[in-house]
Amino acid sequence: MTQNEMMRGPAGGRLSEAAREQAQQQLLDPQGPAANVIGFGLGVKWTDGRPTGQPAMLVFVTSKIPEAGLSRRDVVPGRLDDGTLTDVVAIGHVAAQQRVLSPPDMEVFVRVPDTVLERRPTELPPERPAPMEAEPQLLARRMRPCPAGFSIGNVAITAGTLGSVVYDFLPGATTDPPAPGLGAPPRYYVLSNNHVLAASNAAPIGSSIVQPGPFDGGVDPRDRVATLSRFIPIQFAPQVPLDRHNNVVDAAIGQCEFSDATREVYFNGPPRAWRRKANVAVGDRVRKVGRTTNATYGRIISVDATVDVNYGSAGVARFHDQIITTAMSAGGDSGSLVTSYDNVAIGLLFAGSSQATILNHIETVRSLLRVEIAELLA
């Protein structure tokens, strides 16, 4: 079995209920989580820097601490009570990736050499593709019609990324994609994160969305590209205790004119299909285009993940059923559409660190917002 095959997990894999319950109670205890633990998810076990191919629960920490420096309660067991293997993975401090006000501390990225991805993800430096030979703010300028991947944001925030143009389910369509050829859908929307288009629950419906985002010079009404239509509210701590959070997406849409934005993803072309959760697997290679780091490539290291995300002054939010990839983003990339190499939509990027990137399943985003991103599914 090749190293690629050993890194790949089963499509649609999930942790057992017993493993999830034990991790919630022992590792993310609301009275005091284990040292540095911020989440867990399904992945594969690594030994001596190589994947073994054995399914394991990955325990995500901000940084690794030698076992000798931990109290007994903070040591992650090698196996859970139901026999599930564990592996501790350092992913840094995870935060929502709206553009921050400090200068960027990452190069403009273009791609990740495939050879780098064969090494253990937890030991990789931030995955830095070759610097792009172009102006650093290539995707932070005004564009009409605007492709996905460019700067966008509610007038109340700094800047994020336009993920895609989506449209309402056609009449009679609820959970299944509409059949091709039924005519033009009635409304078009820009898709991005709640914290990009709805200011982390704070923006009123109907508020202006500008392209580029305010940080990049967008001004209302001159640069208005859409108005906020709907968003999925995020539960934050301390208002709601972390163990009661039911967050699964950070997503919002704003109605736009078809002539102002396009389904085309800059560099990549439009998404040709979307992938069901059941077909997303550890080891899948993915790519995205975002406002800050441009086109980057990565690999899924965990699915069915629970992770705590820092939203700054809004608080901390716990998300369930997430996808975690190797590092492929920075502040300002929030809202980017993540696809397979052949342009099948997989997830909506919303958070990350210098060591990992966090995605919502596109199937869940699509269902909760009641919009379509492509007529085919994979």
Domain range summary for the chain, segments of one domain joined by +: 3-90, 95-120+135-372
What pLDDT score does 52 carry? Answer: 87
Band of the pLDDT at 108, cuts 50, 70, 90? Answer: very low
Q: Facing residues of 274 across strands? A: 345, 377
**More confident of the two residues 347 and 69:** 347
Residue-wise pLDDT tens digits, 9-35 = 777 789 999 999 999 988 887 776 677
Band of the pLDDT at 173, cuts 50, 70, 90? Answer: very low
**More confident of the two residues 135 and 206:** 206
Most confident range (mean pLDDT) of 24-33, 74-83, 363-372 is 363-372
Residue 274 sits at φ, ψ, to 5 deg, of: -130, 155
What pLDDT score does 2 carry? Answer: 66
For residue 3, count other CB atoms closer than 10 A to its CB.
Answer: 14
What pLDDT score does 97 carry? Answer: 82
Map tokens 């005004």 to a residue.
142
Cα distance between residue 293 and residue 128, in whole Å? 10
Band of the pLDDT at 110, cuts 50, 70, 90? Answer: very low
What pLDDT score does 128 carry? Answer: 41
| Chain mean pLDDT for the chain | 85
Q: Facing residues of 326 across strands? A: 356
| pLDDT of 180 above 90 | no
Q: Facing residues of 316 across strands? A: 237, 310
Q: Which of 36-45, 73-82, 148-157 has the lowest mean pLDDT?
A: 73-82
Residue-wise pLDDT tens digits, 246-275 = 999 999 999 999 899 999 999 889 999 999
| pLDDT of 354 above 90 | yes
Residue-wise pLDDT tens digits, 202-240 = 999 999 999 999 999 999 999 999 999 999 999 999 999
Contact yes or no for 225/256 (Cβ under 8 A): yes
Average of per-residue pLDDT across 324-332: 96
Cα distance between residue 264 and residue 143, in whole Å? 12
Band of the pLDDT at 100, cuts 50, 70, 90? Answer: low
Structural fold of domain 95-120+135-372: Thrombin, subunit H (2.40.10)
Average of per-residue pLDDT across 59-66: 89
| pLDDT of 160 above 70 | yes
Question: Alpha carbon 242 to chain centroid distance?
Answer: 20
